[in-house]
Amino acid sequence: MFLSPAIRRHPAFREGWRDMAPIAIGIGAWGLMTGVAMLKAGMSVIESMAMTLLVFAGSSQLAAIPLLIAGAPAWVVLATGFCVNLRFVVFSLHLRPYLMHMPRWRRILHGYLTADMSYALFTRRFPQPGDDPVQRAAEEAYLVGGYAINWCVWMGMSLLGIALANFIPTQWGLGFAGVLSLVAVTCSMATTPLRVLAVLIAAATAVAAFALPFKLNIVAAIGAAVLLCFLLEKQLGLNPDAEDER
């Protein structure tokens, strides 16, 4: 959307925008709640706005809030954000053939603005990367159309949430809505028995090791869950490729 008018005038831009529109309602509600949750957890208006405008990743923002409030060291916050965002690493491998013909800054801008739903819609609309300029132009315009509305709705509603949060008393506990959203995202990732086990091990470790300094209980929990599931996967002789498909 910040790019050339050539993209905005391409018919695929409108198509991408239209396909994303119904989903954007849900994204907007989540953004509104994230904005409220940031302020209600105790972040300042400036910090909340900076986080909204720069980070642009709902689950990693919500996961970072309690760590920032607790004064966790920067590397723990960043490592947690990285782990929460690891799914994007998988997406980026999938998107690579669609983007490699572009200059680097343009790839990085598209990558930064392509969140979960933009990625899902884009790869459903274009299952195969095109190798001629006509399809490549359509791909880019469709991708930009989808993430443009996604970005506008997310930003608008998050900023609205930050503005409204001042009128809501903290005692109401609306910050808990942020935790509940993460509950949903966690459930959506627990798609195999071993991943459910990873969730339970991580939850138990994070609570049991809570007394560790610097919020290291989070790092310990991720490490314990990944290692144990890794070992179990080997013990049970599961086929990694079959697990990948789920």
Minimum CB distance to other proteins, residue 220 (Å): 8
Gap between the Cα atoms of 235 and 237, Å rounded: 5
Closer residue to other proteins (CB): 9 or 96:
96
Gap between the Cα atoms of 229 and 246, Å rounded: 16
Minimum CB distance to other proteins, residue 11 (Å): 26
- 3-class SS string, 102-131: CCHHHHHHHHHHCCHHHHHHHHHHCCCCCC
Minimum CB distance to other proteins, residue 72 (Å): 9
Gap between the Cα atoms of 146 and 161, Å rounded: 23
Minimum CB distance to other proteins, residue 132 (Å): 20
| Tokens 């109401």 sit on residue | 172
Closer residue to other proteins (CB): 9 or 208:
208
Closer residue to other proteins (CB): 46 or 134:
46
Closer residue to other proteins (CB): 16 or 58:
58
CA dist list (Å): 123 to 98, 103, 158, 177: 10, 21, 27, 30
